[in-house]
Amino acid sequence: MIKHVVMWCFGGDKESNVKQAVEQLNSLKGQISEIETLETGVNYNESDAAYDLVLITTHKSNQDLEAYQVHPAHQKVASFIKTVVEKRVVVDFEY
């Protein structure tokens, strides 16, 4: 199994942008069959080291993760997020 973890720091109207990102990300579960699980979390920690939003997805294989990443529904969400995000970090690992 593969776990895909992404965290973002948002700019602009942060509250609105995070809300839109959460709604769009959560909609992917019903659209992309290669997603086993999908979880989003909005940060409440005010630390300088904190990010605003986390996405955690699981996939049966690296091939499923790759299929998810190129899926048109994912690409649409990614395009929106790229326009409102200041920083992004990602970790993919087997478990």
**SS3 of residue 63 by DSSP:** helix
Q: How does pLDDT run along the chain (95 residues), one tens digit per residue?
A: 999 999 999 999 999 999 999 999 999 999 999 999 999 999 999 999 999 999 999 999 999 999 999 999 999 999 999 999 999 999 999 99
Question: CA-CA distance, 76 to 10, in Å (whole number)?
Answer: 17
Distances (CA, A) of 70 to 37, 39, 48, 55, 64: 17, 19, 32, 17, 10
Domains of the chain: 2-94 (3.30.70.100)
10 CA to centre of own chain: 13
| CB atoms near residue 51 (< 10 Å) | 19
